[in-house]
Chain A
Amino acid sequence: MREYDVIVVGTGHAGCEAALAAARMGAKTLALTVDLDNIALMPCNPAIGGPAKSHIVREIDALGGEMAKNIDKTCIQIRMLNTGKGPAVHALRAQADKKMYHIEMKKVLEEQENLDVRQAMVEELIVEDNAVTGVKIKTGIVFKAKKIILTTGTFLKGEIIIGDTRYSSGPHNQFPSNALSDNLKEIGFKLFRFKTGTPPRVDKRTIDFSKLELQPEFEDKIAFSFENDSIENNLQRQDCWIVHTNEDTHKVILNNLDRSPMFNGDIHGEGPRYCPSIETKVYRFQHKDRHKLFVEPEGEYIYEMYLSGFSTSLPVDVQVEMLRTLPGFEQAEIIRPAYAIEYDCIDPTTLKPTLETKMIKNLYTAGQLNGTSGYEEAGGQGLMAGINAVLAIQGKDPFILKRSEAYIGVLIDDLVTKGTHEPYRMLTSRAEYRLVLRQDNADLRLTKLGYEIGLISEERYQKFLDKKEAIKEEIERLENTEIYPTDEGVQEYLVKLGSTEINNKVTLAKLIKRPELSYKALAELDQDRPRLPYSVREEVEIQLKYEGYIKKQQEQIKKQQELENKSLPEDIDYNEVKSLRLEAKEKLNEIRPLSLGQAGRISGVSPADISVLTIYLEQLERSKGRD
């Protein structure tokens, strides 16, 4: 029997980050997977990023995680979304070669010091005195560890549904994890059932691409990882295409609704609203005469094309029929049919903000098992679970990101404070401090924290400090560079740029604030401008241009901070706190928030309850002082 510090069960996007973080922090780590050939599998979209998700990827990177580097290595197409909607919501989205994504990540895991990767089906947790001490695998072997992190994704009692066919299965027909699900229930966890789905994969040789609309790529190959200046890999870039459904498609779908398990009652699991099946979209929005679909490549050696927006649980014959109504798909062949999958997850409100379960000590959970959806959301949680497991072993304070620090902070706070009724996807609109949680400044927000934890190397940290200094210096320079109305050519140049003349001397920093001007546009008036990398220029421009709005948001954060900093002792019995309303008592006892700020976000806890708690805390502190 071998003993580890940390065992990670599952090697999806959460498991990989958890295992790597733990090993890199010096913990002897074991990662167990049902199938070594499916490490970091992308069972759905062959893509990473998008609004809010790209933010998470960059946060993972700033904290020393792997996802950003891995997509940079395996990206075959990249786009920057939302460029016209404000810097905070710019979002990178990259198509991945999904086989290469797996191979590269597997290699990183295998080559990681302190990390063993083994193929095994975990069936049981060994629990003694409400603390987990190890796992038992199908062959009866027991691995012991100080901390166990479960990242089982959609494997728990997974069931694939295609029309009236339903069978027990993990994603992409892998072995489901049935025994472990039963074991969790025996231990006392309440599991609930979610559903998600994936569209058909179509043989690219049977598609007439001349009838499809080509989706343009973003010219600057901006990298996800702050360690890379741009995306440079040897993979062949591949195109994405757009196609629309039409009345014929909708007719096929509506005629066959009774054969959709989504509609005939065969699916009970709660599905995500942002990822509806095509039958749901057609049925709910009948006034829409077409729906947009994306035809995405899955990789260099793969003939399958992913038909994004066409996920369904209709039977295969209907899938083929509706597919062939699409222009360019008249002869199309489905290689893998679309399917819905139902699976067990745990209620995330039973977790602490460290992602340790409240019920069983030393047991952490992360990823889709916690009711989320998306590779990025999973990766972020995996990283945090890995970090906190090791910090706990080291006897250090837990690492909890605030809502004002990171989308990962928003994600975990939402999960453990409010729970979720559908597979939770991160959206920028979930972040109240969106303007300061940009993807461009993820390194400025988090690199220092990653360095302190031990996941950012000395070399990278030094590079980061240099960048920070460069930004500061350039901003100062711009604030001190004055332009006079009498300077030659100034007025003409400003007018040429669609701006107005200046009446008095003005600094370049002030001019950049004009909506119609930019850092780049003012280069001509800026004789002494140093050559700076894109990442520095971008930061300088955003920080100057939107200074007023950023300051306003920082004020809001500061106000909330006092409440966030006021911690609530773990052992409060809220029933003892007089004057709390009954509902507040129940909720507080259940969620057990770590701070007054978190307490205030629990539904059913009112501002007056927070006032009462504030007084109670003070009372508690003073009586302690007396003892």
Chain B
Amino acid sequence: MYVKDTIAAISTAIGEGGIGIIRVSGPEAIEIVNKIFRSIRGKSLLEVDSYTAHYGHIVDSTEEIIDEVITLVMKSPKTYTTEDIVEINCHGGMVPLRKVLDLILKEGARLADPGEFTKRAFLNGRIDLAQAEAIIDLIRSQTETGLRVAMNQLEGGLSQKVGEIRQDLIKLLAHLEATIDFPEDEIEDFNSDELSDRIDGIAKKVEKLLRTSQKGKILKEGIETAIIGRPNVGKSSLLNALLREKRAIVTEIPGTTRDIIEEVINIDGIPVKIIDTAGIRDTEDIVEKIGVERSEEFLNRADLVLLVLDAHQGITAEDRKLMGSIKEKDAVIIANKLDLDSKLDFTEIEEILTDKPIVKTAAVENQGIDELEDVISNLVFSGEIKNEDQTLITNMRHKNALDRAYQMLLDVKKTFELDLPNDFITIDLRAALEAVGEITGDTIGEDIIDQIFADFCLGK
């Protein structure tokens, strides 16, 4: 007996090998995966037979391809957990693996607890009674390992920051609850600006922590970088220049297709993965080879964009279009071919793309490459990352909890904007508090009530 929801987790060891498997189990497993899976043959997973494999792509809400996968559909009751199970074999390494899991959680699955698949298998009669003890030990040890890892991460900055958010939430809730439970006492009601500011303030802190978690990911898994530009502006020479010498680590992620290749270069210890299509170095022109649409796909997926302009030719209409498309991205503008006469109008670039660094290179001559590396390094490390005591959340569970807390706070905002009474505001605030508490292992308990009595003079 357990809560019969749908659970998901990465079920292969993290960080080893190029292929990772995500397992989804529960009554909505097939439905959830079907929402984000696009079969090459246009099949719906809802209609396929049990124990069949399907080739296709996982896409996000904008139909952007996240990874190329093979999904294996296994239907209840003849499965490991006796529930419907879908296994997704991802090929793109850790980053897409996590993104796929993220999507599945967003569609309504819950991140599985340690040992939960096995626990379900046992509870549903799939595993022999003799193994019960072993399962209990497994759950216990996995939970404890998980906790230990979490606690290690929680030391220092993160636990303090999460604690701060938690305290902010408790204080705000205590105030709202006090006005509700003690209407006849003289507690000042929030005016709406104040309340809105408080909610925003907390949401901002959560968002900042989430961004840090993004950076944490970057250090571990590298930043995905796309090189874009019109034909013949010198993209491949730039890549070759960056890849030159010993520091280049060339890894090819083996997959069933040679469509996606990642070149990883090491800049100041940051793995920078250059998203590339097969043979970018063989042919000059990415746009020409795979079309503008694919190029845009890469653009959306990338953490960092390197836009290459041909200084010798000046800015063309197509360049302007490309510049327009990267306004929201972290990007570096590369004015290439500066060994030739420059016809570039830098003020125009700066007008379209304010705040984006511009680096002047002559890739074939290897000029400006060191400078480019510095710029990339600075972008990643900007401000915070180099500090020793930096808060880095790499744990998926933490990120997931923060994600939910953030979502709840957005809901609180919505409720607030609808001008609904305070009671409704407390509902999602409480949910946010619970989510944040999962990180530190705190439940709500008497905290709010204690805070009410600490902050307010109440009682008749």
Contact = CB atoms under 8 A, between A and B. Distances in A.
B183 A82 contact: yes
A309 B113 contact: no
Interface string B298-317: 00000000000000000000
Contacts of A619: 129, 132
Size class of the contact patch on chain B: 35 or more
B427 A612 contact: no
B119 A615 contact: yes
Interface stretch (A3-11, A69-77, A124-132, A423-431): A423-431
A427 B182 CA distance: 9
A308 B460 contact: yes
Contacts of B183: 51, 81-82, 85, 91
Contacts of B137: 579
Given A427-B449, A618-B132, A291 B457 contact: yes
B159 interface: no
Contacts of B423: 85-89, 434-435
B159 to A, nearest CB: 18
Interface string B1-12: 111110000000
A395 B136 CA distance: 37
Given A84-B421, A432-B430, A615-B132, A566 B1 contact: yes
A517 to B, nearest CB: 12
Contacts of B5: 559
Contacts of A484: none
Interface stretch (B42-50, B173-181, B217-225, B393-401): B173-181
Contacts, number: 140
Interface stretch (A34-42, A56-64, A273-281): A273-281
Interface string A241-274: 0000000000000000000000000000000111
B424 A288 contact: no
Interface stretch (A108-116, A161-169, A546-554): A546-554
A562 B452 CA distance: 32
B181 A578 contact: no
Interface stretch (A221-229, A399-407, A531-539, A603-611): A603-611
A615 B457 contact: no
Nearest to A603: B445
A623 interface: yes
A460 interface: no
B140 interface: yes
Most chain A CB inside 10 Å of its own CB: which residue of B122, B132, B181, B424: B181
B458 interface: yes
Contacts of A432: 430
B133 A89 contact: no
Contacts of B185: 292
B458 A274 contact: yes
A274 B422 contact: no
Given A51-B183, A515-B418, A273 B448 contact: no
B180 A622 contact: no
B353 interface: no
Contacts of A284: 457
B139 interface: yes
A307 to B, nearest CB: 10
Interface in B35-78: none
B282 interface: no
A566 B426 CA distance: 30
A147 to B, nearest CB: 33
A618 B136 contact: no
B135 interface: yes
B330 to A, nearest CB: 36
B13 interface: no
Most chain A CB inside 10 Å of its own CB: which residue of B140, B173, B186, B421: B421
Interface in B54-107: none
A238 interface: no
B136 A52 contact: no
Interface string B269-287: 0000000000000000000
15 contacts: A82-B183, A85-B179, A86-B424, A275-B459, A432-B430, A565-B1, A578-B136, A579-B136, A579-B137, A579-B139, A608-B140, A608-B143, A608-B144, A612-B140, A615-B119
Q: 7 nearest interchain CB pairs?
A: A86-B423, A86-B421, A285-B457, A429-B177, A608-B143, A308-B460, A273-B453
